[in-house]
Structure 1
Amino acid sequence: MDKFTKLTGIAAPMPLVNIDTDMIIPKQFLKTIHRSGLGKNLFDEMRYNADGSEVADFVLNQPAYRASEIIVAGDNFGCGSSREHAPWALLDYGIRCVISTSFADIFYNNCFKNGILPIVMPKEVVDVLMDDARKGSNARLTIDLENQTVTTSDGQSFAFEIDSFRRHCLLNGLDDIGLTLEKSAAIDTFESQIAQSRPWV
């Protein structure tokens, strides 16, 4: 998993509330068990018409936001089913951070496991960040995980809270496998001791 330390990038404004996981990645794309290749279908039913052409006014289809790495969203982002494909699709598209006033619990947890930083902010702060995002590609947000701040294009800085363990994992690029491998020396020692004391195991 890639480390997340500091990100300066284009933020796409998505003021819709209750953006659920079926909107993020519709059910027909859940057949794969691979994390790659889902970005092209991110927000599929909002991004594309029935004939496959792009919906011109959808934010990620607009030239200023095609390279977005951050989403500033309305309340209750990631609600609905528990599909892990939702953060997979966001990450495959290039989204590394989502900012909202609230997230569905399972989606929130899945983000951390996949290297995406979900940030919860008060509504008045999200409104400021949403307005900044609406300025387009010349206005970039800076997410500083080490200092736990979000800074707008005009220099306004807002602090955010994050669980210290999850912060540690993102800063060091540790998913569940990476956390286990941190204990590899202890695991090797244990296996060696077991092999000697109980060779029949």
Structure 2
Amino acid sequence: MSDNARISGKGAAIRFENLDTDQIIPKQFLRGIDKKGLDRGILYDHRFDASGAPRPDFVLNRPEYAGTGILVGGANFGCGSSREHAVWGLQQFGIRAVIAPSFGEIFYSNAMNNRLLLVMLPREIVEPLMNDVDANSDNVIDIDVQALRVRTSSGDYPFELSARHQRMFLEGLDMIGLSLQQRAEIEQFAGKYWAEFPWTRDVARLTRDRLDLA
């Protein structure tokens, strides 16, 4: 089985319902013009107090959960604003997958398109899974993307994934990479379209040239 077909790692329970993207990555960490350093802001108000000191009781600050790669969260994980930074920051923090009963719709699309795997399992499975990772910080969660199974020391659970998203994970593709798999068809369509409507080709470049903005 290829590395893309399996995500395994230490799990940590984030016991919040309706954890929104403003909590996942607060607005003060969105000032940059690139993706660098977003991991510093992940769950900042949960990880740090008002003075900036780490909260020792928060799960991701506890030494035994260092290197956590999979979060187990509450329902409606990632609701709120559409900031894609929440996904990028989680990935920079080392998170490769999130398991929860449900996810915010936009967050789900952002995550899957960036290859942050989101797995939906029923609440009656997620709750015991949270208890397992709370009780044992060495409890490894194994997510088999090929077989669509989540396996832990306490169970083996099926989950669903669209064929498109499963292919992206198995082939190591993000949304752009998946689109480029159809490059030949795209170029063929564009060629036919420009032949029929030649005035639509390179409109931006032609306008810049005409206005001498190059």
TM-score relative to the length of structure 2: 0.83
| Aligned twin of 1:111 | 111
C-alpha separation in 2, matches of 1:101 and 1:69: 18
Cα distance 1:197–1:122, how it changes in 2: closer, same or farther (>3 A)? closer
How far the C-alpha of 1:189 sits from its partner, in A, is 4.9
Any idea what SS the aligned residue of 2:45 has? helix
Per-residue CA deviation, residues 156-181 of structure 1 (Å, 9 max, x unaligned), is 10001111111111221222211222
How far the C-alpha of 1:186 sits from its partner, in A, is 3.4
Q: Which has the higher helix share?
A: 2
Per-residue CA deviation, residues 24-51 of structure 1 (Å, 9 max, x unaligned), is 0001111224233211210011111233
C-alpha separation in 2, matches of 1:196 and 1:18: 51
TM-score relative to the length of structure 1: 0.89
C-alpha separation in 1, matches of 2:148 and 2:41: 31
Cα distance 1:190–1:37, how it changes in 2: closer, same or farther (>3 A)? same
Cα distance 1:151–1:50, how it changes in 2: closer, same or farther (>3 A)? same
Give the number of the structure with larger relative contact order, counting CA–CA contacts within 8 Å between residues 6 or more apart: 1
| Percent identical residues | 41
| Aligned twin of 2:20 | 20
C-alpha separation in 1, matches of 2:171 and 2:36: 22
How far the C-alpha of 1:199 sits from its partner, in A, is 8.1
| Aligned twin of 2:170 | 171
| Aligned twin of 1:123 | 123
Per-residue CA deviation, residues 112-153 of structure 1 (Å, 9 max, x unaligned), is 011111111111110121122113332111011111111113
Q: Which amino acid aligns with 1:110?
A: N
| Aligned twin of 2:209 | none
Q: Which amino acid aligns with 2:126?
A: V
| Aligned twin of 2:87 | 87
Q: Which amino acid aligns with 2:51?
A: D
Any idea what SS the aligned residue of 2:135 has? coil
| Aligned twin of 1:180 | 179
Cα distance 1:20–1:190, how it changes in 2: closer, same or farther (>3 A)? closer
Q: Contact conserved, 2:114 with 2:175, CA < 8 A, in 1?
A: no
C-alpha separation in 2, matches of 1:197 and 1:181: 24
Q: Which has the higher mean CA deviation after the structures are superposed, 124-133 or 191-200?
A: 191-200
C-alpha separation in 2, matches of 1:127 and 1:194: 53
Q: Contact conserved, 1:108 with 1:118, CA < 8 A, in 2?
A: yes
C-alpha separation in 1, matches of 2:101 and 2:190: 46
Any idea what SS the aligned residue of 1:151 has? strand
Any idea what SS the aligned residue of 1:87 has? helix
What runs of 5+ residues in structure 2 fail to find an aligned partner? 202-214
Q: Contact conserved, 1:4 with 1:115, CA < 8 A, in 2?
A: no
RMSD: 2.2
What runs of 5+ residues in structure 1 fail to find an aligned partner? none
Any idea what SS the aligned residue of 1:185 has? helix
The size of the alignment, in residue pairs, is 198
Bigger Rg over Cα: 2
